[in-house]
Amino acid sequence: MTVRKRMHLAAHFPGVNSTTVWTDPRSKSQIDFASFEHLARTAERGLFDFFFLAEGLRLREHKGRIHDLDVVGRPESITVLNALAAVTERLGLAATVNATFNEPYELARRLATLDHLSGGRAAWNVVTSSDAFTGENFRRGGFLDRADRYARAAEFVATARELWDSWTPEGVARPFAHQGQHFDIAGEFGLPRSPQGQPVVIQAGDSDEGREFAAATADVVFTRHGTLDAGREFYADVKGRLATYGRSPEDLKIMPGVTVVLGDTAADARERAAEIRRRQVSPQNALLALEQIWGVDLSSYDPDGPLPDIDPEPEPALARGRVRVADPLAVAEKWRALSRAKGLSIRQTVIEASGRQSFVGTPETVAAELDEFVTTGAADGFILVPHLTPGGLDEFVDRVVPLLQERGAFRTEYTGTTLRSHLGLPEPIWKG
Amino acid sequence: MTAPHGRGLLHLAAALDQQTAFDAASYVGPAQLAERGGLDFVTLGDTFARPGPDALAVLSRVAPATRRIGLVPTVTTTHTEPFHVQAAVATLDWVSRGRAGWQLDVSTTEGEARLFGRRHAAPADALWREAGEIAEVAARLWDSWEDDAEIRDEATGRFVDRDKLHHVDFRGATFFVKGPSIVPRPPQGHPVRVVDATEGPARRVAARYADVALVRVVGPTQARAVRAELRDAAAKFGRHPDTLRVLASLVVDLGDGERAAEPGHGGGGPRQTAQGPLYRGGPVDLAELIAAWHASEAVDGFHLTPVEPHRDLERLVNGTVALLQHRGLFRTFYPGSTLREHLGLARPANQYAVTGGAS
């Protein structure tokens, strides 16, 4: 008899995200500490593995001006998490921090401090940037080509691990020296080895380089594969890469970012999901989504009218600070086809074509579907991305978590104190 | 409490520094004790040159465990990106609901430079010039969001009024920052900037940018002279001198009972040591000293660093502070909620709102 596989759950603070609905009367501040405290306490009440904060180092711009249609403005992640450590006891605390605009010594020190102050609950979501636009806020301008980004990130993580391991297990500081392609540093690290050995490392890229990087170095992968088939394919691919690095499949947890909409009946849930999509895609946001593909000013178009007949600019330069659309012509053709086939307006087309909710249904069906993902090898757990700040997970914790526990699919208490213990990850062996 | 004889209110602060404590409890307890004494703020030093946790992180951890006391970590400017420094300080102000300060410092050693491998050690005066630029760009970035930039206007679909968000386009000698900040304007507008103004290169930065200047001095005459110099220099930078608080920084050793153990020392005033001016004596004598220096307008208050953190802070709060309160010389409760309110400093106007320019 095999042990029942249990899922891991994390709470993504909605905040700055185009899917965060700010027009709902229940939507509260994305800045006030009370909002962070609310969501973190909810996640801990639900026995979640960790709380997750994203990062943005430059406000997005559109047509040369600050993008004004979505939630914007956020506090700095590690500082918020240190404060949250005071109002939670077991919940893991994960910060997204860019490796391109930081230096290993300082970031390793900040993460080790969070781990000490929280009693072993820190995690770092490693992201990289090749973005000279964001680089305008920093001494090091930031431009790196794709391959260099991952090489630098890999060396960054390896260096951080050397620093985290530089004191002896007995707490004696010892000098370190690291000489590599990207970093040449030496001295003594500021903190002893942290309560969970090393902070948990999360990786969120989906490219081939990203997958390889995750297999080599990460403890958790944050993916975007929200369907069963895509999830299984990604899961098998990434887990299959681990043996090369002397790691076993359970050493790396795969957690897709997903959204959940609940209702008392299936129809009720579908209706709520549609209403959320309408609020996520305002008329102004629909035109903006179109401009990001067409690459030209479309402000004269009616969002409730048909799509433009003109073709997109092949090299658009309107939007800065977000990922470019790879093949605008193909996307435009697909959207026009969708609009023609279903008789949809611009806004309806954008709603139809862009990101939908991953799980929509009653608490019972959602619990069963989540469990199926985990038991059939599509995920080890989920990073839940609510659409409301800060109450967006209240209902999930109250209605779905108990059902997951009844099925034996989720823990009924925290058995350890560290994030590694929640994730079932062994403490890293001290490498001296 | 009104200020007697036209003097300003007395301000008191204490350092939480201790050797190699990495856990939260080592800092939370002392900060709560200082808050029970009604102190304006606590400080926590930071340097890459010695072991210790990140000070701003520690005081963020302390913030939800306290309600009123100001929280002033040292954040060095030599090796940390200016954009990150200002964002972290602004965030401390958000999580503490308006109680953040920032003690600026520089990293002068080659040992610290080697931890980063990006630049070589530089002389203090060059690094303090740069620290001044970082104090400047931080204030601009804190102002890069006007207070009412967030509008949540459903009719037009706009979350923010982008005319109230500003690029800062700041070019210093060694860095450029485009802006705006990612963090909306903090509750205090500008978190309180603190500079140890004892040495020459830092004193200029203090006169121009500091809300609180710390000076390590052994007597009231010396303190009065430095305070007058700082206030003059502040006026030359176009500031009103009353927007600068000058606190005497003393190391205190209260281990010798009620009265001075060494004749001619405790009651007679601090003496110069390698750690700075050291007061050694009893808590009552320390209260006398504080009252006397403040009454003669030598200083606006004191920043006290306990030699033995737990013992001396306890004696400071329950002995010295209690006596000052009993005599009506120090607050018995916090009338305000922000650090600026404790210090009697106004919330600064937004430099971009005044000119009204769009980015």
Mean per-residue pLDDT, B166-176: 95
Alpha helices by DSSP H, listed for chain B, are: 25-36, 55-62, 82-95, 110-116, 124-143, 200-209, 220-236, 283-295, 309-315, 322-326, 339-343, 351-355
Beta carbons within 8 Å of B126's beta carbon, 6+ residues apart: none
Chain A contact for B94, CB < 8 A? Answer: yes
Residue found under tokens 């000489």: A179
Residue B7 has a pLDDT of 66
Residue found under tokens 């090091």: A140
pLDDT bin (cut points 50, 70, 90) of residue B357 is very low
Sign of the CA dihedral with B32 first, then B34, B36, and B39 last:
negative
Residue B249 has a pLDDT of 97
Q: Which residue has the higher pLDDT, B166 or A315?
A: B166
Chain A CB contacts of B166 under 8 Å are none
Q: Are A105 and B115 in contact (CB < 8 Å)?
A: yes
Asked if pLDDT for residue A323 goes beyond 60, the answer is no
Question: Is the bond preceding A316 in cis, omega lying within 30 degrees of 0?
Answer: no
For the beta carbon of residue A30, count every other beta carbon within 10 angstroms.
24
Q: Are B90 and A76 in contact (CB < 8 Å)?
A: yes
Q: Which residue of A has its CA nearest to B150?
A: A72
Type of residue numbered A366: V
Alpha helices by DSSP H, listed for A354-392, are: 363-375
Classify residue B248 as left (phi > 0), alpha (psi -120 to 50) or beta.
beta
Q: Are A116 and B53 in contact (CB < 8 Å)?
A: yes
* Residue of A18, A66, A388 for testing the chain B interface, max B β-carbons within 10 Å: A66
Q: Are B81 and A85 in contact (CB < 8 Å)?
A: no
Considering only CB atoms, B157 lies closest to which of A137, A184, A282, namely A282
CB A385 within 8 A of CB A357: no
Tokens coding B227: 């305070």
Rounded Cα gap, residues A163 and A87, in angstroms: 29
For residue A116, the distance in angstroms to the closest alpha carbon of chain B comes to 6
Chain B CB contacts of A101 under 8 Å are 81, 84
Chain A contact for B75, CB < 8 A? Answer: no
Rounded Cα gap, residues B36 and A338, in angstroms: 66
For residue B347, the distance in angstroms to the closest alpha carbon of chain A comes to 19
Residue B2 has a pLDDT of 39
Q: Nearest Cα to B104, choosing from B122, B130, B83?
A: B130
Chain A CB contacts of B60 under 8 Å are 79-80, 82-83
Chain B CB contacts of A80 under 8 Å are 60, 91, 95
Chain A contact for B147, CB < 8 A? Answer: no
Q: Are B159 and A71 in contact (CB < 8 Å)?
A: yes
Q: Which residue of B has its CA nearest to A35?
A: B95
Mean per-residue pLDDT, B233-256: 95
Rounded Cα gap, residues A388 and A20, in angstroms: 6
CB B256 within 8 A of CB B266: yes
Mean per-residue pLDDT, B66-94: 98
DSSP assignment of B114-162 equals HHHTSS----HHHHHHHHHHHHHHHHHHHHTB-TT-EEEETTTTEEE-G
Chain B CB contacts of A282 under 8 Å are 157
Mean per-residue pLDDT, A114-120: 98
pLDDT bin (cut points 50, 70, 90) of residue A2 is low
pLDDT bin (cut points 50, 70, 90) of residue B60 is very high
Considering only CB atoms, A76 lies closest to which of B23, B79, B87, namely B87
Q: Which residue has the higher pLDDT, A355 or B278?
A: B278
Angle at A406 between CA A400 and CA A407, to 5 degrees: 95
Q: Which residue of A has its CA nearest to B76?
A: A106
Q: Are B95 and A106 in contact (CB < 8 Å)?
A: no
Rounded Cα gap, residues B181 and B240, in angstroms: 28
pLDDT bin (cut points 50, 70, 90) of residue A322 is low
Q: Nearest Cα to B313, choosing from B125, B88, B24, B31?
A: B31
pLDDT bin (cut points 50, 70, 90) of residue B200 is very high
For residue B33, the distance in angstroms to the closest alpha carbon of chain A comes to 17
Residue A206 has a pLDDT of 83
Tokens coding B300: 């606006």
Rounded Cα gap, residues A248 and A208, in angstroms: 20
User: How many angstroms from the chain centroid is the CA of residue B285?
Assistant: 26
Considering only CB atoms, B57 lies closest to which of A22, A113, A285, namely A113
For the beta carbon of residue A260, count every other beta carbon within 10 angstroms.
25
For residue A43, the distance in angstroms to the closest alpha carbon of chain B comes to 18
Rounded Cα gap, residues A35 and A22, in angstroms: 13
Rounded Cα gap, residues B338 and B100, in angstroms: 8
Q: Are A101 and B53 in contact (CB < 8 Å)?
A: no
Mean per-residue pLDDT, B60-66: 98
Considering only CB atoms, B116 lies closest to which of A32, A185, A189, namely A185
Chain A CB contacts of B23 under 8 Å are 116-117, 119
Chain A contact for B175, CB < 8 A? Answer: yes
Chain A contact for B263, CB < 8 A? Answer: no
Q: Is A298 helix (H, G, I), strand (E, B) or coil?
A: coil
Tokens coding A419: 């994030």
pLDDT single digits (tens) A152-177: 999 999 999 999 999 999 999 999 99
Q: Are A192 and B180 in contact (CB < 8 Å)?
A: no
The region of weakest confidence among A42-46, A122-126, A212-216, A327-331 is A327-331
Residue A205 has a pLDDT of 74
Rounded Cα gap, residues A191 and A140, in angstroms: 26
Chain B CB contacts of A24 under 8 Å are none
User: Which ipTM was obtained for this model?
Assistant: 0.95
Q: Which residue of B has its CA nearest to A141?
A: B176
Considering only CB atoms, A106 lies closest to which of B65, B79, B177, namely B79
Asked if pLDDT for residue B4 goes beyond 90, the answer is no
DSSP assignment of B176-212 equals EE----SSPPPTTSSPEEEEE-SSHHHHHHHHHH-SE
Q: Which residue of B has its CA nearest to A23?
A: B154
Sign of the CA dihedral with A22 first, then A28, A29, and A33 last:
negative
Between the alpha carbon of residue A307 and those of residues A211, A274, A301, A340, B96, the distances in Å are: 37, 21, 8, 9, 49
Query: In chain A, what's the furthest Cα-to-Cα distance?
Result: 70
- According to DSSP, residue A251 is labeled G
Q: Are B56 and A79 in contact (CB < 8 Å)?
A: yes
Sign of the CA dihedral with B30 first, then B35, B38, and B41 last:
positive
Residue A143 has a pLDDT of 65
Residue B25 has phi, psi (to 5 degrees) of -60, -30
Rounded Cα gap, residues B121 and A159, in angstroms: 22
Chain A contact for B198, CB < 8 A? Answer: no
Q: Are B159 and A185 in contact (CB < 8 Å)?
A: no
Asked if pLDDT for residue B231 goes beyond 70, the answer is yes
Between the alpha carbon of residue A362 and those of residues A186, A302, A384, A404, the distances in Å are: 56, 36, 16, 13
Residue found under tokens 């985990």: A374
Q: Are A59 and B182 in contact (CB < 8 Å)?
A: yes
Q: Which residue has the higher pLDDT, B291 or B358?
A: B291
How many CB pairs (< 8 A) connect A and B? 181
Chain B CB contacts of A79 under 8 Å are 56-57, 60, 88, 91-92, 95
